[in-house]
Structure 1
Amino acid sequence: MKNLIKPTLLSITLCGLFTSSNLQAIELYSSGSGDNITKVSIGGYAKVDVRHVNGDIAYQDYWVGNFPGGEPTDTSTTGFNVKESRLSMTVQHGEVTGYMEIDFYGGGGNEIVSNSSNVRLRHFYIKYKNWMAGQNWSTFMPLKALPEALDFGGPHVGEVFSRAVQVRYTTGNWQFAIENPETWGDGDIGAPSSALGLTGDQADPDEDTPDFVARYNLNKDWGSLSFGALVRIIDQGGIDETGTAFIMSGAIPTFGKDDLRFQVSSGDLGRYAAAAMVNDIVRDPRTDEIVVEETTAFTVAYRHFWNESMRSTAFYGTAETDVTELKRAHWGVNLIDSVTKHLDVGVEIGNYAIKDAAIEDIDSNYLQLSAKFTF
């Protein structure tokens, strides 16, 4: 394993130091009142990342639960990017609100001339009273439990992290949703069985039942807890089964402004957990049968405030599958300072490790410097 910080990189690390402020929209237009009110606002943030990765796992702008390249790669790479930056717009007419958000992880461009990146749609939904319809975070995903991290999304490998087109109803502490179905993988090695935008004969002929999510949110003075259940039909490759999964998560204040965040999920999670680390349907290496994969994942994070503006989060996330015996983990520690109300700078070090049964243990360390302007 190479050293985490090369002398030639040290000067860069001392110059930069991110992080996470709540988005604060700027109101562009407001007219009327009550049921006739009309408002238009924009929000988002500009984020600049400098990231150095070295070890046995190929460079990525942020770690997910995958195995980039599919084999160990002797890596020492420094990358600069602004692709996490995002823009959002909210339009409200009376009780109806529309929200759209984009970032720049849509691919395209090159580092030779333009360094361009394509726009990627993150959210686009409508809210009316207790109803929400459109593309949004999955109802199964616990947003309050996500750690404050510089690596985009934190330890994806241990998290439920998914966006979906859905219809959601909220009543009191309860949320119920039907979400876009997608069985990922059919027991064969290769691309997913269906993809966004496919129509006609290319569209998956078997996905006729939406995923169903039920969630209960408990918010008290001592913190918040969330309990979720997922029911879905897994119908590919000769398999036609009802899959189920469960999640428990929480965000608990501790001392001063400190907090503890966690989530634990288990079951037929498929694409919902560990950033699609594994297919829904796999071939059992012991029996050669096609079966539904089961996954268990968890994340724990503790955030400590050193003073009013400076804080650190230490986090750990991991996921493990039952049949294919995949095991991946990600830990990190950061230091983040709010230079102003709208500008955060920070530094984070961490490690992403793969301990699958079929390969020798490998890992890569990373060092990331970020600056983030929220508006």
Structure 2
Amino acid sequence: MTSTTKLAAVLCMLAIGAAPLSASEFHFGGFIKANARHIDGNIAFQDSWTGGGSVTDPAKRSQFSATESRLNIGVTHGGVKGFIEVDFAGSSQGNAIISNSYSPRLRHAFIKHQEVTVGQTWSTLVNTSTFAETADLGGPLVGQAMVRQALVRYQSEHWQFALENPYTYGTQTLSDTAKTTGFEWIDTSNDYVPDAILRFDQQGDWGNVSVASLLRYLDPSSSAKLAVGVSVAAKLRTFGKDDLRIQLHYGNLGRYVGTDAARDIVNGKVETTTSAMFAYRHFWTERTRSSLFYGRTVTEVEQTDRAHIGANIFTNLTPALALGLELGRYQINDDLSAYTLQPVAQGASNYAQLSLQFHL
């Protein structure tokens, strides 16, 4: 067999193997986002305000970044849809001295067939339509449900039911070896019952609303504990193109709400969380709009109290290119330490952020 014949045979085999892909539809998306961020206060610098953070000495810091840039691929073949997405946030690989390298970070990777979704994506407790439009990644995360994780979900027109990855986050009653440190993290090797979420959705010309309940079986150190919480979220159209976005959460929601503002269990006790987020978006023109937003979480056992308020203005320079400026403030008003349950310092940081986002 000549080399030409061999090459032809290989190409034929590749064509045969690739034939089924010809029926697939590919969708590429994402965006490139550049940020300039300045923070002034006594809460340690964060690339975006989560519900976590710590009080430090007062400081000022400016940071330029492009790590929030995002790429995704969606594939549809027959009745099956696959989707995968990565960004580069929170995954430093190099350093600011030389390369500023960042590793891709998996956000979504799921398969959907008819009414069933399997893989990693937004938790069923999350209503993404109620996220505020912000320059700070995610907006007032301290008052929002914002979890991505592996799950199995069934969805009909109005109902969703899911079993999601179990994980217990928090501290347990101190052992003798941990008394010197003041706390001991929960051993997650005993997480064996999936979290269950039931959700109802209703939508119309007025917007949409979702009501979800969370049931968890927490069993750290073989001491069974039930955890139950409820979440209500809505996006409501008001005047013209304006809208009001609301999230309200209460119960044993732990890691599902507040993005590290609350734990599932604190020193052996199941935590109870109250969280809220409000955002109003107003369109000044067809291309220019502003959002005013506020988020807050308070807890009963740990007695955390954390809040984020801000306002911004966005304008589209082109249909795919948006420029935004945001001013805001993040506050920690905790009464007790998350670890020792002793009184702690309180603080706040003001920030200004300029972002340029190009949708691919």
Q: TM-score per shorter chain, which class?
A: 0.7 to 0.9
- Select the residue among 112, 118, 129 that pairs with 2:114: 129
Contact 1:186 1:236 in 2 (8 A): no
The match for 1:291 is: 269
State the Cα distance separating 1:146 from its structure 2 match.
Answer: 0.6
Contact 2:229 2:249 in 1 (8 A): yes
1:333-344 correspondence to structure 2 within 5 Å: 333-344=311-322
The residue type equivalent to 1:343 in the other structure is: L
1:332 aligns with 2:318: no
State the Cα distance separating 1:205 from its structure 2 match.
Answer: 3.5
Contact 1:48 1:372 in 2 (8 A): yes
- Select the residue among 306, 309, 320 that pairs with 2:287: 309
The match for 1:79 is: 63
1:109 aligns with 2:109: no
Distance 2:118 2:49 in 1: 30
Per-residue CA deviations over 1:105-131 (Å, capped at 9, x if unaligned) read 223221100011111000000010111
State the Cα distance separating 1:359 from its structure 2 match.
Answer: 2.8
The match for 2:8 is: none
What TM-score does the superposition give when structure 2 sets the normalisation length? 0.87
The residue type equivalent to 2:239 in the other structure is: F
The match for 1:199 is: none
Change in 2 beyond 3 A, CA 1:110/1:157: same
The match for 2:39 is: 53
The match for 2:338 is: none
The residue type equivalent to 1:240 in the other structure is: A
1:161 aligns with 2:146: yes
Bigger mean CA deviation after superposition, 107-116 or 314-323: 107-116
The match for 1:222 is: 206
Contact 2:190 2:222 in 1 (8 A): no
Unaligned runs of 5+ in 2: 1-17, 175-181, 336-342
Contact 2:235 2:246 in 1 (8 A): yes
| SS at 1:351 equivalent | strand
Contact 1:331 1:352 in 2 (8 A): yes
| SS at 1:181 equivalent | coil
The residue type equivalent to 1:179 in the other structure is: E
Contact 1:109 1:118 in 2 (8 A): no
State the Cα distance separating 1:48 from its structure 2 match.
Answer: 0.2
1:98 aligns with 2:76: no
1:31-46 correspondence to structure 2 within 5 Å: 37-46=23-32
The residue type equivalent to 2:127 in the other structure is: P
Contact 1:145 1:261 in 2 (8 A): yes
The residue type equivalent to 1:367 in the other structure is: A
Contact 1:32 1:38 in 2 (8 A): no
Distance 1:84 1:205 in 2: 32
The match for 2:177 is: none
What TM-score does the superposition give when structure 1 sets the normalisation length? 0.84
Per-residue CA deviations over 1:166-214 (Å, capped at 9, x if unaligned) read 00101110000000000012326668546xxxxxxxxx43211100001
Change in 2 beyond 3 A, CA 1:228/1:32: farther
Unaligned runs of 5+ in 1: 1-30, 195-203, 284-289
- Select the residue among 319, 323, 328 that pairs with 2:301: 323
Contact 2:190 2:221 in 1 (8 A): no
The residue type equivalent to 2:37 in the other structure is: R
Per-residue CA deviations over 1:255-286 (Å, capped at 9, x if unaligned) read 11000000000111111011022321113xxx
Contact 1:178 1:213 in 2 (8 A): yes
State the Cα distance separating 1:92 from its structure 2 match.
Answer: 1.4
Percent of aligned pairs with the same residue? 39
Per-residue CA deviations over 1:212-256 (Å, capped at 9, x if unaligned) read 001011102222111000001111146411100100110001111
Distance 2:71 2:32 in 1: 9
Distance 1:190 1:100 in 2: 38
Aligned residues: 327
Higher-Rg member (1/2): 2
| SS at 1:144 equivalent | helix
Per-residue CA deviations over 1:277-310 (Å, capped at 9, x if unaligned) read 2321113xxxxxx311111110000000000000
State the Cα distance separating 1:67 from its structure 2 match.
Answer: 2.1
Distance 1:150 1:365 in 2: 14
Change in 2 beyond 3 A, CA 1:192/1:99: farther
- Select the residue among 169, 172, 177 that pairs with 1:184: 169
The residue type equivalent to 2:38 in the other structure is: H
